[in-house]
Amino acid sequence: MRLGIIGAAGQVGQEFLKHCPADNLALWDIEDFDVTDYAAVEKALRSRPDLNAVVNLAAFHNVNQCEEQPSLAYAVNATGAYNVAKAAARLGLKMVFFASDYVFGQDRTRRRPYVESDPVGPLNIYGASKVAGEHLVRAMNPNHLIVRTSSLFGVVTSKKGWTFPEMIVSRAREGQPLKVVTDQIMAPTYTYHLVEKVLELLAKDATGTIHVCNSGECSWHQFAVETLALLNMDYPIAECTSDAFPSPAIRPAYSVMASERMEPLGIAPLPHWKEALKLYLQEKGWLQ
């Protein structure tokens, strides 16, 4: 399968290069065109008539900045998604759109994983803009795959330059104090496993909305503790609540996702997040 990757320089985009022959990929990033410009999107896709699908990873995902710049959040995450979906549909391409666990969160009593059929309910602009993007993708391109995932970590870092486990290890090695929240529960997801599973879904010609996250759940504090424990680093990590880190955006207290759709497709669930974390640390060369 030949894929066009929009947002190829990002954390997930670079993971596709580990799994796919370079000749099977068309790679674009913000320097090549802006997803908010429909004409530019269609021109780029038309330049590669050999493609089978386009993967839209372009996103404005700084959650706090989305609160401060809602117009930009909706322009990229919603209008951009509309443009790619529309252009892909015109050219007969499958559209893959990446969404987030932050489309959920309004149910403050939730303590069981969200599945694909659960109603959305975002708490912040980022989540709301992703919901809008989902709706527009569904409306514009029937041949779509919406992938909801969460709390990504991987050896290929995002443009911010680090992932959560890397930050925890770095600060511990430097002797900096560590304080991590206990009241945000999520499903950490290893980007290697994420892309591996997305390619499996594409091979099955899956459509619709599917949750793709590592199994299990934890707080960010538990995630940090497990990271250092696997590396045999005896270093204190203080517990705190989200109130210790005031921010413009409200984060969900519980945003764990699981899939009710993978099994009927004959696709196995992703490994537990603890196993994924171990594999990540091995890939980093930090763990034998």
Task: Tell me if 220 sits within 8 A of 181, measured CB to CB.
Answer: yes
CA distance 100 to 125: 12
Q: Please calculate the CA angle 150-12-280 and round it to the nearest 5 degrees.
A: 75
- Read off the amino acid at residue 115: V
Q: Please calculate the CA angle 28-33-38 and round it to the nearest 5 degrees.
A: 115
Residue 234 burial (10 A CB sphere; 0-12, 13-18, 19+): exposed
Catalytic residue among 74, 126, 192, 254: 126
Residues 6+ away with beta carbon under 8 Å from 21:
none
Q: Is 126 a catalytic residue?
A: yes
Q: Is 205 left (phi over 0), alpha (psi -120 to 50) or beta?
A: left
73 token code pair: 């959040």
Task: Tell me if 34 sits within 8 A of 12, measured CB to CB.
Answer: no
CA distance 278 to 51: 35
Instruction: Report, as residue numbers or ranges, the catalytic residues.
Output: 126
